[in-house]
Structure 1
Amino acid sequence: MSAALQAVKQFRIRELAPLLKADPKLSTARPKVLNPFLPHKNPESGRWAPPKYSLRRQAELIKSARASGLLHLLPPGPKLAPKTIEDASTSAQTSAEATEQAKWWTAAIEWDGEFKEKEVKGADVGNRLYAGKKRMFKGHKWERMADKRTWKRDMLMKHMSKRIARFKTVRGLGGALRLWRVLTGDCVL
């Protein structure tokens, strides 16, 4: 048995064993089990309890389930959307896994707790971080000034060849004029 299949099997046994030990008749029915991927509210104290499995552990279980083709056996949660589970369950029913379906730990379960997916603006176009915002983050000053400096540099470089030619002629005339003044005696070196 592969490690991925073993991880999913251990997860299912860990979650179902206490329920089946308490009432063996539930093995034929579709039992309702508390979703370990979601936080739940304690009915006695009214306080919220965190999920039994962390997000990192959920991601590891999902990777294992994908590798072994048992994604439909996991409950929905933040790392696994209900739509993905539905797609996986339809593909699992069409595949030839009749031997695995006969085992008790692969039985259908109704997970208690509702997972609500958050709609993120801009996720459909690939811009989740800055969706709905007027501008991007503040950034460094050189990042904010880059466009202005680029525009100024382009304007200065536009007629640079004419400016260089004019500079050389004026400087050349200035040097010749100074030499003329020295030769005529108007200026002393």
Structure 2
Amino acid sequence: MAATATAAAKAVKRFRVENLPRQQLRAAVQTKHTNAERPIVKAANPFLPSQIAYNGHWVKPRYSLRRQKELVKKAKMSGMVGLLPPGPKLSVQEIEAARLAQTVSARPGKLQDWWLRPVEWSAEPERTKPAPKVDTPTQPISTLSVSSVDEAQQQAKARLRQERAALRVKRREMVQEAKKCGLVAMYIGRKRMFKGHKWERVLADRRRKHRILMRDMAKRVQKYKSFYRKRRPSPLAVPRANNQKLPF
């Protein structure tokens, strides 16, 4: 049992070390070591989804529900529930109740206990999508105005984000205008139309072939019947040759 509790404590410690801002927390511990019971650093919650800043896409949580449940079990086994962030498998009330009865805490003045310091986890999914800058003109990047390759790459990424934001805003306005006019807004502002199903794409060619076949159907039927009528042997005619061979 002791070995199991030790392994569970190591798993919780590994989780904290991997997901906490190590440098910021160590610097905060050195400057504010007296406030050992107060959260001094904000950390992203790996149990909740997050939103990418420049395009607004949502990213899945870093830890799945199965891994979250395993961590909660290990934290309860080792008495470290108060060190985990809130999530679908662990509520804020459970964390607060566990902190009151928690026996593991950081020692004052000990820098090696930085991972035990309380941090402020985000209790809701992070929404970091900023307002798009549509009016900002996108100018070509000149190699004379940058001092390094990294700076040029950053400027190129920033310009691409601005252009994409401007296109999204423009398409949103076009969709609103189309809806007001009673038009279908599915194809508004798209580079290519919706491809549709295979039978929809080949329907025009199939109908054209059907028209051609039905137009000449009488002629084709007559040709078919006359062709096989000529090839049909007559029972009164004399056979041209008798090449029958016996099997013995």
Q: What range describes the TM-score normalised by the shorter chain of this pair?
A: 0.5 to 0.7
Q: Per-residue deviation at 1:108?
A: 0.5
Runs of 4 or more, structure 1, over 3 Å off, are none
Amino acid at match of 1:109: V
Identity of aligned residues (%): 42
Q: Per-residue deviation at 1:76?
A: 0.2
Structure-1-length-normalised TM-score = 0.53
Matched, 1:20 2:22: yes
2:48 match: secondary structure: coil
Equivalent position of 2:193 in the other structure: none
Equivalent position of 1:32 in the other structure: 42
Residues 25 and 41 of structure 2 are in contact (CA less than 8 Å); yes or no, is this contact kept in structure 1? no
Equivalent position of 1:43 in the other structure: 53
Structure-2-length-normalised TM-score = 0.41
Q: Structure 2 vs 1, CA of residues 91 and 53 (structure 1 numbering), >3 Å: closer, same or farther?
A: same
Residues 30 and 109 of structure 1 are in contact (CA less than 8 Å); yes or no, is this contact kept in structure 2? yes
Equivalent position of 2:13 in the other structure: 9
User: How far apart in 2 are the matches of 1:70 and 1:23?
Assistant: 19
More helix as a share of residues: 1
Q: Structure 2 vs 1, CA of residues 80 and 41 (structure 1 numbering), >3 Å: closer, same or farther?
A: same
Report 1 or 2 for greater relative contact order, CA contacts < 8 Å, sequence distance ≥ 6: 1
Q: Structure 2 vs 1, CA of residues 50 and 20 (structure 1 numbering), >3 Å: closer, same or farther?
A: same
1:101 match: secondary structure: coil
Equivalent position of 1:130 in the other structure: none
Equivalent pairs, count: 108
Equivalent position of 2:106 in the other structure: 101
Q: Per-residue deviation at 1:26?
A: 2.8
Q: Over the residues paired in the alignment, what is the CA RMSD in angstroms?
A: 1.9
Equivalent position of 2:87 in the other structure: 77
Stretches of structure 2 that go unaligned for 5 or more consecutive residues are 33-38, 108-112, 126-248
1:26 match: secondary structure: helix
Matched, 1:89 2:99: yes
Q: Per-residue deviation at 1:24?
A: 4.1
Q: Per-residue deviation at 1:45?
A: 1.5
